[in-house]
Structure 1
């Protein structure tokens, strides 16, 4: 099993914990002193790569959401914020983000031979990760954090401590190992929050926008644009299948949407139509999209590892993008069929007058088929220009 490019571990302690007090005591100390006494205030035993968290061989100075290096006065201000948090019984969360050093080298951030590390790039990535996680937990206004980079041989990692000077987390009743109840602030964070922090950090370190934009462009512009007209010719099997779908659609036009449960039985036929259309008119783009999705899966596998949980996430991303394509094309067809049905009903009502015979949809006429073909082609072209590539990371972190 390959090692992921980045891992994170997290633990928390309450305001009366000894580790909390020790962290506060060492905030304003020299970095060498902090490093030598790291074990006194560290609450994470392992770094995420199954390595024991010992005192760092070398550690950078503290940095925060706004400061790259802290002056003595700024350290004092930070210490007071942590002291206030402890007085108010805040939780102290400690996160460790660890990197595969080879990954950092691949990104040009680290050089093993010389020991060079672009600390500024790493700090900025952590800031973005913390901003995302604080927002996810509703702590943008209340959270105060400090971090330092630990430079070890195998895995460079960032040690982060987060508190709330004015706590927002509620008190709850818990049961300890002895079966006795006690009251404490809720300290657990959603797994999605921790995943979001990790992915935000790694995505800031690696540029994948170009590949993600390529996938979006293929889906939303070249294969299924929103405003295209379907090509003028349609094969006999496509015409037959198109008529089957049209005849089976429900009377209520409001239900004519690809993901509506009312057309579950028709959806597979819409998918076959989409596949036939792509194979006949867009074979190169279809192959290109498949290759781009496979490349993205390979990149994600490199970043997150190939464990069962991670495998499910990046494979689901690929299937989600495939589904997005089929849903988009399916809705184009349904939208055009809806317009045809409206015209057909209007013509029927005008022709029958007062006779209220039940309306029965007819086979699609050549003119209507051409209209469908033109609309589908138009939509296939527009799918390429909508830049929706940022949806990937949200999907990954939601586990969709």
Structure 2
């Protein structure tokens, strides 16, 4: 929009003003609460904070509140007491005004210019939605409000007065100008809720959501970027600008890569979802015109070139879908590389294990043969040794026996001693033989343990192989479920 273009006046205006408890306007509003409609209409200037903004209404509707469309005399009396109590407790009084361009009301079927009938029920409901924003987080201060619809030739408007029965004690210490301020976010939300309730664009936005979520983003989930050369090139180019940490791969976090993601999204919807995207753009233009008519020309004209929030939603959803596809692709490639590396290591280990096994077997055979040979030699020696000793001892014994036969004295005792020595010698020989035999058995056990250790290592490797193959089967099963 250029400077020469005519400025668009908003069809709906929302303003808020406030006064302290000692203000004459506060007292006047209380005084006129229980007056009839004609009296309140005639004395509107006495309690309205918008005399500079609008003149006296031609006609005023009855009071309504959060719960009542029409109020009995008893209910009006109770309302007046509550406003008096709020004033006594030093509450501020806020006055909100919602003003319409009557042409907009006529265009949207809320006002009949011939019969002068307004759809007051719809207006009341929109006011309640808007005022509900002030109490959505609870109503600790017990906010109460009353409102009435005022008719003018050009601008029908709704006047709302609100007070707090229990003002916050900390706020009472502040200057009244500060106490009455509302957060800009709250004011914007109040206006937005009021307008959206009257626009009745639910079906319109539902159609936009279907175009975005189901048609365009939904089709991308089913279409692999590997099928198209340009898509593939854009995808791989985007990969170079993504953060190394895959946990950061989210559309809201990838500032550097976002232009590349948006470029890819735009290319996809323009070439693969042409009809849906054209319909989407047409609806966005229509909605922007409607919003401009309602909200008017913004002070900051650069806002007119900002993308519609549904456009931003499209690129966000499409971007996250693309990023997820790329993440799955990278994950699959990493898995393939790891599997290939594993198979190489597995083959290498098999060859090394086979050679090591053959060498160990050969070495063990040589050691076993040597041990057996040495063992046989020692066994022969040990077996023959007692007999040789026995033979020598027998010769000695016979010699001694002959000497004893020819000697005098106690021949019998000497013979017994010799026999005892001979028996002891036999026992020592047998004990020595057993010890040597145990030593040979120990050496044999050591050799067997070495063989067992080699077998155990091979078994552990085989078990690891089985576990990896099990993981592969599980992955294939999960892939099957996703399909």
TM-based fold match above 0.5: yes
Quickly say closer, same or farther: Cα 1:350–1:2, change in 2 above 3 A. closer
CA root-mean-square deviation: 2.7
* TM-score relative to the length of structure 2: 0.64
Equivalent residues in 2 for 1:65-214 (5 A)? 65-135=66-136, 139=139, 142-168=142-168, 170-171=170-171, 186-214=179-207
Pair 183,11 (structure 1): closer, same or farther in 2 beyond 3 Å: closer
State the shift of 1:227 in Å.
8.4
> Taking CA–CA contacts closer than 8 Å with sequence separation of 6 or more, which of the two structures ends up with the larger relative contact order?
1
Q: Distance in 2 between the 1:215 and 1:80 partners?
A: 49
Deviates more, 1:342-351 or 1:114-123: 342-351
1:225-240 to structure 2, matched below 5 A, reads 225=218, 228-230=221-223, 234-240=227-233
Task: Please tell me whether the aligned partners of residues 171 and 184 of structure 1 are also in contact (alpha carbons under 8 angstroms).
Answer: no
- Equivalent residue number for residue 9 of structure 1: 15
Partner of 1:45: 51
1:141 shift after superposition: 6.2
Unaligned runs of 5+ in 2: 1-6, 346-481
Answering whether residue 277 of structure 2 is matched by residue 286 of structure 1, we say yes
* 1:140–1:126 distance in 2 versus 1, CA, 3 Å: farther
Matching residue of 1:62: 63
Cα distance change on mapping 1:237 and 1:117 into 2, 3 Å: closer
Return the alpha-carbon distance in structure 2 between the equivalents of residues 151 and 183 of structure 1. 31
Asked whether the equivalents of residues 226 and 332 of structure 1 are also in contact (C-alpha less than 8 Å), the reply is no
Q: Is the 8 A contact 1:218 1:285 kept in 2?
A: yes
Map of 1:327 onto structure 2: 316
Question: Which of 295, 299, 302 is the matching residue for 2:286?
Answer: 295
Residue number in structure 1 paired with 2:214: 221
Deviation at 1:342, TM superposition (A): 2.3
- 334, 339, 357: which is aligned to 2:328? 339
Quote how far apart the aligned CAs of 1:346 are: 3.0
**Offset, 1:189:** 0.7
Quick one: distance in 2 between partners of 1:315 and 1:244? 28
Q: CA deviation at 1:60?
A: 1.1
Deviations along 1:199-252, one digit per CA (max 9) or x if unpaired, are 222222222112212222111111002983215873322222223333554432
Q: Is the 8 A contact 1:91 1:185 kept in 2?
A: no
Are 1:348 and 2:341 an aligned pair? no
Structure 1 contact 169–185 (Cα < 8 Å) conserved: no
Partner of 2:265: 274
Aligned in 2, Cα 1:315/1:65: closer, same or farther, shift over 3 Å? farther
- Separation in structure 1 between the aligned mates of residue 176 and residue 69 of structure 2, nearest angstrom: 38
1:280 Cα deviation after fit = 2.1
- Bigger Cα Rg: 2
Contact 2:225 2:235 survives alignment (8 Å) = no
Mapped to 1, the partners of 2:178 and 2:273 lie a distance apart of 57
In structure 2, do the counterparts of structure 1 residues 140 and 98 end up closer, same or farther at CA, with 3 Å as the change threshold? farther
Distance change >3 Å, CA 162–CA 296, structure 1 → 2: same
- Structure-1 residue corresponding to 2:437: none
Alignment match, 1:307: 298
Could you say which residue in structure 2 is the equivalent of 1:255?
A: 248
Is the partner of 1:224 in helix, strand or coil? Answer: helix
- Does the 8 Å CA contact 1:211/1:296 hold for their aligned counterparts? no
Shift of 1:315: 4.8
**Alpha-carbon distance in 2 for matches of 1:187, 1:8:** 16
1:316 aligns with 2:309: no
> Structure 1: which 5+ residue stretches go unaligned?
48-52, 175-181, 356-377, 379-400
Alpha-carbon shift at residue 104 of structure 1 (Å) = 1.1
SS in 2 for 1:95: strand
Q: Does structure 1 retain, via aligned residues, the 8 Å contact 2:102–2:156?
A: yes
User: 1:102-159: CA deviations, max 9, x gaps?
Assistant: 11111222122222222222212211121124437x6476210001111111111111
- Give the Cα separation in 1 of the matches to 2:164 and 2:104: 33
Runs of 4+ in structure 1 off by over 4 angstroms are 138-141, 182-185, 311-315
Residue 25, structure 1, aligned to residue 19, structure 2: no
* 1:64–1:250 CA distance, 2 compared to 1 (3 A): closer
Matched with 2:412 is none
SS of the residue aligned with 1:202?
A: helix
Change in Cα spacing, 1:253 to 1:233, as seen in structure 2 (3 Å) is closer
